Structure 1
């Protein structure tokens, strides 16, 4: 097992969070062979090694350190490994998507109908251009959302992996990808909406773990939110949104999970395990 030494050390010391350390140095010191990205860049529960799943432990990538370009990581143990993931089946499995009829011109959406295969980026743009995203997020004050920004860069921020632990982790100069971000007015106030998108044909389950359904790692949404938070005034909240889309024979089902606002408060440290949706909704866009 790749992380066996750390897991045993955490058990012996009764720790729930391991100290951040260089992954490359850890592998070299323990005479192991492993790919850095595949081992510590976990974006769904299906990619988390079974040995870590079985002991309710998540691995988190934590960027680099000053004067050291190696990639750092930490292990975090909870009572339930699902604390670190948005479980698609649990969130959306019981929802019946309602038909959404765009209140925009056919011309503005025509290009989307020409695409033989939709990508996560095009799905986000379609949800916004059609007005579906505005409907789901209750943006009655601002129906016209501009094309969202997207990209990736290196960011530094602190967070708590577990709310009931005093331990904080530092993500330093680590690469963070942002699927989509846009500003819109809701309830008379400007908000920054951070979208993490995932597209597929169905809610897959693990072949040997029928109770473990496809998912999104929570840090994939928390990291972008915290990366942008430090650039905002306290008057502009961030709304993290998980957008899960599924292609059907008749169109696309959009499942939207909205999390509570994150606000730039100087001494506030947000925790990974408590990032949970406060609202879920499912809408169907036909003929796409």
Structure 2
């Protein structure tokens, strides 16, 4: 299988040298889809040989002299450290009914949609006031208008916090589900949300939230923290359950590096919005 030869060179807490994926499979004299092989969104999309060996694959963008997509393998004692597990985070929570204080008119359009997407879920949470409630934003805060988009970004990070290894994500595409400024306890914060919607619990690769945060971090003053938020929404028979996992804030400090396996929730909660 792909990566078998590379896995034999790695011990625990080791990271393979970044290399181009197309050149790698050419050397193996095989073919493989780049996105399916190195773009891992959840535990179920991680290839079985990597999962069995507790190894994560990370997409690292391109290089100036080489436009192919680069990647590294990270072997650890428990590959689950690189994922948010919905069952572990949210199974014990009982969603509390949330009653919007806004008019029915302002939310009417959401009831017309035949299919809910991640974007519409975030917009519904914003428009209803649920997001403001869940993130404990100041009462006088104005209506949240999140930005979304995708672009190429360059940044550095540590795959494993207690190792000196630093990886470069260079001119790689990063998708941002939602980002907005909100005031909490009188202080401005930047909230970055990675949203997933479905009909059951799943998992989320942590780099799907870390990458957007690091993409924006260097653009902020040290006085404005970034708060990473994972939002899992579940369709029910009479509405939508919203599960929030908020992580500790990041701050733009000179030479400070953040790591994947230390991105951990510091607060979880669940709310139910009926009739959507």
Moved over 4 A (4+): none
Aligned 8 A contact 1:131 1:144 in 2: no
Aligned 8 A contact 2:197 2:234 in 1: yes
Equivalent position of 1:267 in the other structure? 255
Aligned 8 A contact 2:138 2:186 in 1: no
* Structure 2 CA distance for aligned equivalents of residues 36 and 286 of structure 1: 40
- Secondary structure of the residue aligned to 1:179 is strand
Equivalent position of 1:21 in the other structure? 19
Aligned 8 A contact 2:22 2:68 in 1: yes
- Secondary structure of the residue aligned to 2:254 is coil
Matched, 1:10 2:10: yes
Taking the TM superposition and a 5 Å limit, the aligned residue runs for 1:6-85 are 6-11=6-11, 16-85=14-83
Matched, 1:230 2:251: no
Q: Which moved more, 1:93-102 or 1:137-146?
A: 137-146
Q: Which moved more, 1:139-148 or 1:270-279?
A: 139-148
Count of residue correspondences: 276
Aligned 8 A contact 2:13 2:76 in 1: no
Equivalent position of 1:209 in the other structure? none
1:193 to partner: Cα distance: 0.3
1:15 to partner: Cα distance: 5.9
* Structure 2 CA distance for aligned equivalents of residues 144 and 57 of structure 1: 44
Change (3 A) 1:142 1:271: farther
Aligned 8 A contact 1:84 1:273 in 2: yes
* Structure 1 CA distance for aligned equivalents of residues 193 and 220 of structure 2: 17
From 108, 111, 118, the equivalent of 2:109 is 111
1:95 to partner: Cα distance: 0.6
* Structure 1 CA distance for aligned equivalents of residues 250 and 49 of structure 2: 33
Normalising by structure 2, we get a TM-score of 0.98
1:231 to partner: Cα distance: 0.6
Aligned 8 A contact 1:141 1:185 in 2: no
Taking the TM superposition and a 5 Å limit, the aligned residue runs for 1:166-245 are 166-203=164-201, 214-245=202-233
Change (3 A) 1:85 1:63: same
Change (3 A) 1:28 1:91: same
Please list every run of 5 or more consecutive structure 1 residues that lacks an aligned counterpart in the other structure: 204-213
Equivalent position of 1:129 in the other structure? 127
Aligned 8 A contact 2:190 2:226 in 1: yes
From 141, 145, 148, the equivalent of 2:146 is 148
- Secondary structure of the residue aligned to 1:69 is coil
User: CA offsets, 1:257-285, max 9 Å, x none?
Assistant: 00000000011000000000000000000
Matched, 1:285 2:273: yes
Aligned 8 A contact 1:142 1:186 in 2: no
Aligned 8 A contact 1:141 1:187 in 2: no
Change (3 A) 1:142 1:45: farther
Q: Which moved more, 1:133-142 or 1:162-171?
A: 133-142
* Structure 1 CA distance for aligned equivalents of residues 50 and 64 of structure 2: 29
- Secondary structure of the residue aligned to 1:227 is helix
* Structure 1 CA distance for aligned equivalents of residues 21 and 140 of structure 2: 45
* Structure 1 CA distance for aligned equivalents of residues 93 and 77 of structure 2: 27
